[in-house]
Amino acid sequence: MAEFLSLKDAVKKYLKSGDMAAFEGFTHLIPHAAAHEVIRQGIDELTIVRMTPDLIYDQLIGMGLVKKMIFSYAGNPGVGLLRRVRDSIENGWPRSIEIEEHSHAALANAYEAGAAGLPCAVFRGYLGTELQRVNPNIRSVTCPFTGEELAAVPSIRPDVAFIHALKADRKGNVLIEGIVGVQKEAVLAATHSIVTVEEVVDELDTHMNACILLHWTVSAICEVPGGAHPSYAQGYYGRDNKTYIDWDPIAADREKFQAWMEEHVLKQGPDVFAGRIKGLEVTS
């Protein structure tokens, strides 16, 4: 049953050290504000799941809060590599992490299986790839009807799913539009979910086939305008591509990274995000 909380209180209430957390949003609606709150609270030993780790996992890993990462594409889209992730994997700085690497198809299927209450996902995939050699969680099953050998991976059932959405109504029903990614699946698969939204409104004012998370599927709703920045929110503000490009040299240097995190994350609060989208607003 959705409860309206501050982001600080929601994170404090639902996420604890050692949990499995999924922060989802496929390029669009990435829950940056929520990840920054987790960093500020220093909740550690996390197993983090995300199809496309992006800057938020570069930051969580660079701050030493992660024990294990489950992922399928660890890049800064269109820019290059994730340098904090690389430093951790290649040099063990600030610590070594365990990685469980999949393909997008596998993780999309695994979230769906989690939402469907199944123990595993079955799909046609991993044909001829080497990923099954390095990931014991990639296995196979034989179709009982045709004999076809299909890939199987465990479903994803996070302790806490974090997503950012466009809006919630006063009951706590949540609307996602645009590139909807795997957020619905991640929330329905998780034990608890924390949803940051651009705004809380009287009426969602949408269409009959809209992607809506019912209020009783969500644990906490936190109003954080701009909470996806430098990712974007369809109809509210555009992707801040320049910030994505500018991240690369910051993340490339350990001291620069730490100074940046100190200045822009540790010393700030969720309110700072509203200012970060100035000039990026959708005007139409």
Closer residue to other proteins, CB minimum distance, 169 or 240: 240
Question: Min. distance of Cβ 181 from other proteins in angstroms?
Answer: 5
Closer residue to other proteins, CB minimum distance, 98 or 262: 98
**Backbone phi, psi, residue 46, to 5°:** -85, 145
Asked if residue 163 lies in contact with residue 198, where contact means CB atoms within 8 angstroms, the answer is no
Closer residue to other proteins, CB minimum distance, 30 or 160: 30
Question: Min. distance of Cβ 268 from other proteins in angstroms?
Answer: 20
Question: Min. distance of Cβ 147 from other proteins in angstroms?
Answer: 11
Asked if residue 158 lies in contact with residue 113, where contact means CB atoms within 8 angstroms, the answer is no
Question: Min. distance of Cβ 198 from other proteins in angstroms?
Answer: 14
**260 contacts: CB under 8 Å, gap ≥ 6:** 250
Closer residue to other proteins, CB minimum distance, 26 or 162: 26
d(CA 139, CA 150): 9
Nearest to 251 by CA among 78, 56, 40: 56
Question: Min. distance of Cβ 111 from other proteins in angstroms?
Answer: 7
Q: Which residues bind other proteins (CB under 8 A)?
A: 26-28, 51-52, 71-75, 77-79, 81-82, 85-86, 89-90, 101, 103-105, 108-109, 111-112, 123-131, 134, 148-149, 178-182, 184-185, 211, 232, 234, 238-242, 244-245, 278-281, 283
Asked if residue 166 lies in contact with residue 175, where contact means CB atoms within 8 angstroms, the answer is yes
- Enumerate the β-bridge partners of residue 168: 174, 200
